[in-house]
Structure 1
């Protein structure tokens, strides 16, 4: 099965209307800007895509919207990866089939977390293997302890899953560079792609053999991420690490400003589309609250650099 190519991917935010329905024009504008910024793919319904708040039909709508926007604008080679994690094996498999029907090329699956004590290493492996057996699309394992009640897959567990013929990669939002290096040194990226799930260890991951990144801050700074990737590929490590240092401060700033709500507000304030609406009970971030915010000042400096590239 197809392994996703190395590069930068955006776990896209989903822009909403005031009534929390999908804002189609704003979401299309966002997908197009990311593609024009050079991303290899769009992750729809990653943790930034608010998947847990969407109906099955809304999830399919969001995937179709991304695929159609890319195709209509000549970006047919940009992948659409769908987050299809759910709390049961049965529903996760259904979401994988829905993703294929809607136009995704790969799925990314979180570990269930409703009953953490029951999610032993053996049960976690069994879950992912059973879903991967049934999935009509190439399968990636998503490790993000913050959204899975603290469940953190170790490198042995992920390495065991990597041997499955339909499991082609992983997104590590745990931020563990040691885990990333253990996996990337064990499996070539052409067989099993290991992606940093955060921007603050993006270049470090590349130097450790990772395939790239799938990270929230790509929503704001796709060109800067692409520049770091290219610098590392060209062996310009000092330049890459200088830019990575700036990006690391930016990634921290996004977290301090407010996660999903912060990303939406930063984008809407600086790129001319979208609102700061998030699904309740998530917290929105008011544009006025950014005035005088030192973290936002850090982001503005990076956005100026982004627009200059």
Structure 2
């Protein structure tokens, strides 16, 4: 029986590019180290925020390997590297999982195919994930993100059926559905299946319901804030945890409103002094200058908390 990733805080890391859209090694390494120093449990390379669909197979392997080597070289061997995989064919997904293992990932997060959306019946979904897990040299997890799978939204019954497979060890719920998380947490043992929320605006509620933690885009901006919230909750400091959740919820909505990946890159570059705003098309660049005064104040509150907590 394969083991799930340990509970905690995971980040679907953005991947920085130079102005000509080549991988920016220096910025990627700076980002990996800031996340690790911020207290993340693991880094997801090539989640949706890592622009996985915009990379060649060689680039995907390189980014995983670079992340693993950077962590190991700076005393963070304990920080996990998870690889986002999942392609539009079972065959290619199997290849991506083998590549992920070779590059240093311990687990694979597998997105469900969606090009042929009408053909993706429950039986087809079950068959895809089971065949991929059967062949994978590392444990797999189900990635449920309707926004990037043409609205395909796996229900808790389907995910629970997949969780019975010995090499399927968890799920990322980027749908943010707390009812679904609750059903999975209470249906499957945490020793064999980890249920992670995929949104920072639902982080504390997911922890309250004894989810495994979160794999959340906003951790790119504020890893330490997420860590302090989790530590406060575990120590019984409820008011402190709730106040941090308030900041995360507002910032999460703002990032989504102004461009998601592009906005997160722009915010990190402005506030932490590395990286740039380049995204690969058809994504569009974003700017922190778009936000209203009120939204700017909310972001500033979180950034100042992050900087203060990181000292």
TM-score, normalized by the shorter chain, greater than 0.5: yes
1:246 maps to 247
| TM-score normalized with structure 1 length | 0.97
Write out aligned runs for 1:221-260 (5 A). 221-260=222-261
Cα deviation per residue 1:37-70 (whole Å; 9 max; x = unaligned)? 0000000000000000000000001001100110
What is the alpha-carbon distance in structure 2 between the residues aligned to residue 155 and residue 290 of structure 1? 38
Is the contact made by 1:6 and 1:189 (CA closer than 8 Å) also made in structure 2? no
SS for the counterpart of 1:80 is strand
What is the alpha-carbon distance in structure 2 between the residues aligned to residue 264 and residue 296 of structure 1? 16
What is the alpha-carbon distance in structure 2 between the residues aligned to residue 62 and residue 295 of structure 1? 33
1:210 maps to 211
Write out aligned runs for 1:183-198 (5 A). 183-198=184-199
Deviation at 1:190, TM superposition (A): 2.0
Deviation at 1:234, TM superposition (A): 1.8
Cα deviation per residue 1:103-158 (whole Å; 9 max; x = unaligned)? 11110000000011100111101100000000000111000000000000000000
What is the alpha-carbon distance in structure 2 between the residues aligned to residue 2 and residue 22 of structure 1? 32
Structure 2 gaps of 5+ residues are none
2:284 maps to 283
How many residues were matched structurally? 308
| TM-score normalized with structure 2 length | 0.97
What is the alpha-carbon distance in structure 1 between the residues aligned to residue 81 and residue 20 of structure 2? 26
1:53 maps to 54
Q: CA RMSD in A?
A: 1.1
Is the contact made by 1:253 and 1:296 (CA closer than 8 Å) also made in structure 2? no
What is the alpha-carbon distance in structure 2 between the residues aligned to residue 291 and residue 203 of structure 1? 26
Deviation at 1:294, TM superposition (A): 3.5
For the structure 1 residues 277 and 78, does the alpha-carbon distance in structure 2 shift closer, same or farther, using more than 3 Å as the test? same
1:155 maps to 156
What is the alpha-carbon distance in structure 1 between the residues aligned to residue 292 and residue 186 of structure 2? 44
Deviation at 1:218, TM superposition (A): 0.3
